[in-house]
Structure 1
Amino acid sequence: MKKAVVILSGGLDSTTCMGIAREAGYDVYPITFDYGQRQRREIENARLVAEFYGVADRHKVISLGFLKEFGGSALTDDSIDVPPAGESGPVESDIPVTYVPGRNLLFLSIATSYAEVTGAEAIYIGVNALDYSGYPDCRPEFIRKVEEVMALATRVGVEGVPIKIETPLIDWTKAEIIRQGERLGVPYHLTTSCYNGQEEACGECDSCRLRLKGFADAQSSDPIAYRSL
């Protein structure tokens, strides 16, 4: 069976990618990154999703604690508050304070190593350029450039069989993602999207609001609990 590494955060989008990769006939190898993120619950959610798909034995959780040491993001720096939905944060910018510098670049680099070792021909990542929060490392042009570098920097790439980056959600609305996930039986009850990482999702951050709007637009109900609803 062909193999794919899935970058699995424990959130809605990456879990949908698990379902899509499975439907596409891939044997999935999930990889999760512990980078000192505020939403610590998502690591456990990723484990639960891996168990759901029967691949807990090959699920890798990789420590990138230095990203918390660097700080610079509301997701890794306790001195920066997560802003309510619709607010970028203390510094006016098109890129919100929840952006983690270099995160997806690091994720894809490490996932490439895992893919080459396991013989995976693809890496799935749940980036989205439509219903997203303005992150530069979620854009199609970023993915294309990283894929070019991967082809140059790996043995399989030099041998003419480069690893592909699959971004099935890149131009879907959140509602379209949810509809597809529900069709595939994706376990959304095991996921979390909240930036604040409490026992119950806050319902107020950008990520929660995007998720809730997606379920509403899909005419469906979000199966997770929210603190403020």
Structure 2
Amino acid sequence: MSPTATPDASASTTVVIYSGGMDSYTVLHRALKEGLTVHALSFDYGQRHARELITAQNVCQQLKVPHQVIDIRAIHGLIDNSALTNDTMAMPEGDYAADNLRTTVVPNRNMILLSLAIAKAVNIGAQRVDYGAHGGDHILYPDCRPEFVQAMNHVSGIANFKPVTIHAPYLQSTKAEILRDGLAMGLDYRDTWTCYEGRELACGKCGSCRERLAAFAANQAIDPLAYANDDSQGIS
């Protein structure tokens, strides 16, 4: 760069898909610690656990991070064959595993959300989109697997005049490893919502709660969230 040249602002800007959950919360802070200008993007697609959006809004207000909640509930009828989007379906309980959580798959969710986030990045001149896919999701969710991210990265690189990189920093990490990283950053996970139920207290029984609690147990830490199930923190 010549002495008179100015830095490329787009290279220091990222759009973070921010659900309000543990993983995206850690990704958001990781991007901020990189010194990037962060634009947070959340989506209301008719999820039963829409409480996560309130959590996301509160965090972004505290951090003074630009934040948009995009209302895409119009597509609800296209993706309602999931326990996360159809409240007439029973929410599966028990450990996070393919055999009991298959009903929580939302059709094509990450492709939809990534496409919109890439559009946002192009619109503001950002060169990157961050999202929180992680290794623990590989067993169940096809749109969190490395081959999906690689394919979307390829498409993102050719779909617009300027390529946008999809950055999934925890793609090969477990939930426990993500939490370990966040705790090392001093993050307060009280400011997250993980439960698939959108009630006042986390249920402690759904697969998402169980995975979260197991991550805290693996890090010999106590989850700061309150749970409706008093025995939740005793998970092994």
Identify the residue that residue 128 of structure 2 maps to in structure 1.
122
Whole-angstrom distance in 1 between the partners of 2:121 and 2:81: 29
Equivalences for residues 151-190 of structure 1 within 5 A: 151-156=157-162, 162-190=163-191
**Post-superposition offset of 1:132:** 5.7
For residues 9-49 of structure 1, the C-alpha deviation after alignment (integer angstroms, 9 at most, x for no partner) is 00000000011111222110000000000002101011012
1:159 is aligned to none
Instruction: Give the aligned length.
Output: 219
The structure with the largest alpha-carbon Rg is: 2
Q: Secondary structure at the match of 2:135?
A: coil
Cα distance in 2, alignment partners of residues 53 and 19 from structure 1: 10
Letter in 2 for 1:177: I
Matches for 1:131-170 after TM superposition, within 5 Å = 134-156=140-162, 162-170=163-171
CA drift at 1:86: 3.7
Instruction: Output the TM-score relative to the length of structure 1.
Output: 0.90
Q: Tell me the equivalent position of 1:83.
A: 92
The residue correspondences of 1:1-229 to structure 2 (distance < 5 A) are 2-55=12-65, 58-70=66-78, 71-86=80-95, 96-130=102-136, 134-156=140-162, 162-229=163-230
- List structure 1 segments (4+ residues) > 3 angstroms apart after TM superposition: 92-95
With 77-86 and 127-136 compared, the bigger mean Cα shift is at: 127-136
Q: 3-state DSSP class of the match of 1:155?
A: coil
Distance 1:46 1:117 in 2: 22
Cα offset for 1:115?
A: 0.5
Is the 1:3–1:28 contact (alpha carbons within 8 Å) kept by the matching residues of 2? yes
What runs of 5+ residues in structure 2 fail to find an aligned partner?
A: 1-8, 231-236
Question: Per chain length, whose mean CA-contact separation is higher, i.e. which structure has more relative contact order (CA < 8 Å, sep 6+)?
Answer: 1
Where 1:96 maps in the other structure, the secondary structure is: helix
Q: C-alpha separation between the residues in 1 aligned to 2:53 and 2:121?
A: 20
